[in-house]
Structure 1
Amino acid sequence: MPTSWLTALDWFGIAIFAVTGALVASRKRMDIFGFMLLGAATGIGGGSLRDVMLGQLPVFWVKEPASLVICLVVSAATFFLAHIPESRYRALLWLDAAGLALFCVVGADKALEAGTGGFIAVAMGVMSATFGGVIRDILGGESPLVLRKEIYVTAALAGAGAYVGLIGLGVSNAAATGTGFALCFTIRALALHYHWSLPVYRAREGRTVEEVEQLGQRPAKSQSGEGVDHG
């Protein structure tokens, strides 16, 4: 992907994720420094972990502080404008979906540029897209979206996989980027609209104390199926 395209997408995604972090801070009634902390952690958290895993040190925002500046400015602005959205949580989910779609593609692209294989590139795309939100939710005292039954990581996986697959087939960067973004955002948007979710593990019901005691009182059986006479 051309550097100008990558930089523009990266900054836009960082700004969106910074807003989601700031909106969590608004729901928790934090001060302006809390807004900036959550905004920065959300905006650059996933990309920082990606760069560390890829050995790209120092991480991107240390090389180019503009990313950190964007987080701080956007978060501070949200401190004064967070009252505008009619539903902050709803706005958070939709902005998060847009950031998810952007970062799954950008993260996969940066991994490919670092020389990784397709499988690792997809994994880095998912990591870039989800871990900023994990940090945001933990700092905000909320259950991370990735640990809920909502379709979230699946959407990022589909978007990153589509991008990497199309690049491998020789499709242009612009088309692959658009397809990966659209696929991830569409899946996440449909899940939000129709309340789709993945099946969750359901533990089997355990035996009651009475059932266990009855099992212990039953006579042992021989191989022929007859009860053993202990008399």
Structure 2
Amino acid sequence: MTDEYFHILNLMGVAFFAVAGTLLGYEKNIGGFGVVVVGSVTALGGGTLRDLLLNKPVFWVEGPDYLYTTYAAIIVAVLFIRYLPHVNNYYFLLVDAIGMAIFNIVGIEKSLLGGAGMIVAITMGTTTGIFGGLIRDVICREVPSVMRDEPYAAACVAGGLVYAALFLLEVHYLWCIVGSLIATIFLRLGSLHWGWRLQIFKKKKLSNENK
């Protein structure tokens, strides 16, 4: 049953990220086959890097159903854009946050199943969650979200820590997933809604007396 859940989660992550890539391609006026490229890179990039680092068979080469899911999601997104009026950036941000949260979990679980420790698993989950979006943003000539002061990678880390805490408390498998999803999505969308920032190099302002 665990393998089935893992497979479904992976397919869901691929689908959400494929849609996110297609939506950003639309926003950047990318036409023709370029939309397929952006959607595919977004959906498959993070998982590909994860499998290479873990020395595992690349997931979409081993199971072509991930490619079918990617292309189907791109087609659905294109039809959504064409026939639904007023497609705005909100849809992209929502789908991207969900896809990132799912891939974060997939990266953690695949690492744990491969015998890695929890700190490696959290790092691999974050890598899986952000790398596809990083490539997508570079292709679309956007400043990558992970390079801004928004909690993007930090949202994945937070979700990973929640997963680790529940896992160590021996909470049921599904609640580990739900808890991680909620933490990651809430932090990511909350940062966009309320303007939360991670300004690591922000210096304190000196008073006139100390100048």
Whether the 8 Å contact between 2:50 and 2:127 is mirrored in structure 1 is yes
- What's 1:192 paired with? 192
Report Cα offsets for 1:177-202 as digits up to 9, x if no partner: 11111111111121121111111535
Structure 2 gaps, min length 5: 205-211
For residues 107 and 85 of structure 1, do their structure 2 counterparts lie closer, same or farther at Cα, with a shift above 3 Å needed? farther
Offset of residue 163 of structure 1: 1.0
Q: Deviations over 1:38-93 (max 9, x none)?
A: 11100111011000000002x00000011112111211332232242634322111
Q: 1:92 to 1:63 in 2, by over 3 A?
A: same
Q: How does 1:3-42 map to 2 (within 5 A)?
A: 3-42=3-42
Task: Give the match for residue 209 of structure 2.
Answer: none
Q: 1:119, 1:85 → 2: CA distance?
A: 44
Higher alpha-carbon Rg: 1
Q: Deviations over 1:140-177 (max 9, x none)?
A: 11111000111111111010121123223322211111
Structure 1 range deviating more: 155-164 or 85-94: 85-94
Q: Which whole-Å CA distance do the structure 2 matches of 1:187 and 1:135 have between them? A: 22
2:77 matches 1:75: no
Alignment partners' CA distance in 2, 1:15 and 1:166:
27
- Range moving further from structure 2, 44-53 or 161-170: 161-170
Segments of 5+ residues of structure 1 without an aligned counterpart are 205-231
TM-score relative to the length of structure 2: 0.90
* Residue in 2 that maps onto 1:166: 166
- Asked if 2 retains the 8 angstrom alpha-carbon contact of 1:85 and 1:91, the reply is no
| Matching of residues 57-96 of structure 1 within 5 Å | 57=57, 59-83=58-82, 84=84, 86-96=86-96
Alignment of 1:1-231 (within 5 A): 2-57=2-57, 59-83=58-82, 84=84, 86-201=86-201
CA distance in 1, matches of 2:152, 2:100: 9
Distance 1:134 1:46 in 2: 9
Q: Which runs of 4+ in 1 moved over 6 A?
A: none
Q: What TM-score does the superposition give when structure 1 sets the normalisation length?
A: 0.82
Q: Secondary structure at the match of 1:82?
A: helix
Structure-2 change in CA distance of 1:85 and 1:127 (3 Å):
farther
The number of residue pairs the alignment matches comes to 203
